[in-house]
Structure 1
């Protein structure tokens, strides 16, 4: 009887089942927090077009009126679905391979994208179409706390690690462009809080994010050759986060100082942050050779282009509402359309190249190694 049981285990059917399970486990293990850049990009697009439709700028009037009335609801639902699916997959991955999650917590790139799902949720919360999720409603406050507290916990974990764990985890050794995700998450939380009566908390989140950004920007600017912060060529699209952080800060400060009105709070400080973001954007796009090697083959890293362009377009919309004129409107229109086209192109590339989204050798993937 034992011999028959052993034969069943080694039968072709059993081996096929085992191989299928191993393949699924391998694919699940290759899934990591970096995939939340997809939901972050889609949620930012939802917020951008909600803002544009509310402001109804003349420069985009012809485009907005061509869209069906339910277009924004479809976009918001699509962004929400992507976030829910990615969160579910990541939760399953953590349950099945908790060792991979622990490795990600100590990885100089992976830990930064743990901020992304919470930032995505806060962006969606700001543009929710449901009347039950308006800023004055209790549900908005409850969800804000649910999404902001994990950001604060990660802040304490990451910042404390830099202060107390010695040379291996000091900022000068592990800083890289993805480290700016911590700044972006804090600014997203500040902007969402500013829409309510949580002004003091919004200012607190903004202060923490800004202080970190000032130190991080100088550290990245002066980083040494050969340090761990240097990324492989495949990951160079994340350099776009250099202008995403000040753009998000510009939008957050406009919300804090102006009570969330369209353009009404875009004061001198918000303009300075927008100008810094736009300057860094011009510096990067003027160096296309920097990104050439990463553009040879489609990869998850390409999604790093979408969110920065979208949030810069959002800041440009706020600026155009405050400073009337042809140039601000032209900047807003170009950035909005480019961000939308880039996002659509990335969706199509992802749909037609799903295998390239889960490569066996992903530079973002922290150790331990995965089964092939």
Structure 2
């Protein structure tokens, strides 16, 4: 491109070579789906902080005195890594909006990409949730919460209103697994609002999200066709969304009651259902793409819900389930980190159309 700034590097022989990406081309590549990386980092930070603060771990007689010394620095590292990654991707996306606004408009008009526009706000809300309390009290967290929830509500009105009234783009025509992301935004927003005592706001967000989740779930259950293979990892949201709802309702109601347990068990059932059908993801795993990060944060949501379930039930089986899901979450997360490090060049190639919305 005319305004691109080429990055020049020298190899060991002293020869000059052009890097594969330019500053301008990176802005055309980094779309809203890349925020799933920061979302997974934030979810992992929340899980680690939950494990540290969870009193059920000591009651279940696990040696979390040692684990606290290990998980404490790891949780702090994840929080800072999430902040840095989210700030970097947000900066690139803001520049994308300034210099390539037509690409952002294309995302806004795409039936899959528009759902990823919720992910930046969800990522910041999770980061706010993962921030240590002693740091949080020094921040205007109520102002920050309003600033993060307001865009979710605005996108809700646009998207849900379109599903409800549009003749060209009704839900039955555009529904796909990424359609769960708006509901995740509602539930995480409700979870965060309940955490600062905004019960009415939390109830409003939860009610809107829950009704639409039921409608989306039934729609997708009846028809799951025409979904691109590259985005099939996003099908993990089938079990991640009820877990997010479970955490939101637990924060609103003040306990892990029957409704929370039902949502948690639904998550476990859907997780087992997808794990038993690896052939469904066969085409999506041929080439690495940023969509693979959608495997990480839904598992982490289930793991966080399992910690609250273990706190409520206080049984060996519940504690074992918590450890199993937490270990699975960490395993998937580390695998995504390694795969991303090995495929960085692929994620920054302009000719990689596996996750292109234009």
Aligned twin of 2:282? 292
Residue in structure 1 matched with residue 76 of structure 2 by the alignment = 73
In the alignment, is the contact (CA less than 8 A) between 1:180 and 1:241 conserved in 2?
yes
3-state secondary structure, aligned to 2:196: coil
Q: Distance in 1 between matches of 2:113 and 2:283?
A: 22
TM-score between both structures, scaled by the size of structure 1? 0.86
The separation in 2 between residues aligned to 1:271 and 1:68, in whole angstroms, is: 27
Matches within 5 A, 1:276-291: 276-291=266-281
CA contact (8 A) 1:248 1:311 kept: yes
Identify unmatched segments of 5+ residues in structure 1: 1-8, 14-18, 259-264, 368-372
Matched with 1:156 is 157
| Whole-angstrom distance in 2 between the partners of 1:366 and 1:283 | 29
- C-alpha distance in 2, partners of 1:302/1:44? 15
1:174-323 superposed matches below 5 A: 174-223=174-223, 225=225, 230-258=226-254, 265-323=255-313
SS at match of 1:67: helix
2:94 to 88, 91, 94: 91
TM-aligned CA deviation for residue 27 of structure 1? 2.8
- What CA distance in whole angstroms lies between the structure 2 residues aligned with 1:29 and 1:291? 27
Report if aligned partners of 1:172, 1:219 keep a CA contact under 8 Å in 2: yes
Deviation at 1:162, TM superposition (A): 1.9
Distance 1:75 1:256 in 2: 26
Give RMSD over aligned pairs: 2.1
How far apart, in 1, do the equivalents of 2:39 and 2:258 lie? 28
Distance, in Å, in 2 between the alignment partners of 1:223 and 1:161 is 19
Q: Which runs of 4+ in 1 moved over 3 A?
A: 19-24
Q: Please give the alpha-carbon distance, in whole angstroms, between the structure 2 residues aligned to 1:20 and 1:126.
A: 38
Whole-angstrom CA distance in 2 between matches of 1:298 and 1:202: 37
Task: Note if 1:104 corresponds to 2:100.
Answer: no
Question: Equivalent residue for 1:47?
Answer: 46
Structure 1 pair 287/20, CA: closer, same or farther in 2 (3 Å)?
closer
C-alpha displacement of 1:232 = 2.1
Residue 6 of structure 1: aligned partner: none
Give CA deviations for 1:82-115 in whole Å, capped at 9, x if unaligned.
Answer: 1111100111111111001111101111111110
Unaligned runs of 5+ in 2: 7-17
Larger Rg: 1
**Aligned positions, number:** 338
C-alpha distance in structure 1 between counterparts of 2:19 and 2:79, whole Å: 35
TM-score (norm 2): 0.89
Counterpart secondary structure, 2:140: helix
CA shift for structure 1 position 78: 0.7
Say if 2:191 and 2:202, in contact at 8 Å, map to a contact too: yes
Distance 1:130 1:79 in 2: 17
User: Equivalent of 1:364, from 348, 355, 358?
Assistant: 355
